[in-house]
Amino acid sequence: MANMSKRDFSGATVTATTPAPDLVSELLEAFRDPDPDLDHIVDLIADDPSLKAEVLRRGNSVIFGGGAPAADVFEAVSRIGMYEAYSAVLAMTHLPRNHNQPALGL
């Protein structure tokens, strides 16, 4: 396995995993802040492979993607916005959106 080149993994797929509950709690708390810290949220998303992959996937989608793929999580979150990043976290955790509890001040 150590001798495999990057090319050997080009057809590989990533199976969905559920983010760590502690990380999700910290992310949801960060999103609830009236003045969310983008750098902190990006760092938390980047720490989890499944969240990172989902945010990058959304950031590189036809709707949000630019002429080139997002270079990192910061660029992807900048493209999709905080609400879409919040939605990605909820989607990955399979948590329903509680419409009685405000998120992102919306």
DSSP letter for each residue of 70-82:
-SSHHHHHHHHHH
User: Which range is least confidently modeled, 7-16, 37-46, 76-85, 89-98?
Assistant: 7-16
User: Is it the case that residue 96 has pLDDT exceeding 80?
Assistant: no
The two three-digit tokens of residue 82, written as one number: 């905080």
Residue 55: count other Cβ atoms within 10 Å of its Cβ.
27
Of residues 42 and 6, more confidence is placed in 42
User: Is it the case that residue 51 has pLDDT exceeding 80?
Assistant: yes
The pLDDT assigned to 17 comes to 73
What distance in Å separates the CA atoms of residue 53 and residue 104, rounded to the nearest whole number?
Answer: 22
Number of residues in the chain: 106
The domain segmentation of the chain, as residue ranges, is 36-91
Q: What interhelical angle do 73-93 and 38-46 show, nearest 10?
A: 70
pLDDT in tens, 17-44: 778 889 999 999 999 999 999 999 999 9
77-101 core/surface letters (b: 16 or more CB in 10 A; e: else): bbbbebebbbbbbbebbeeeeeeee
pTM over 0.75: no
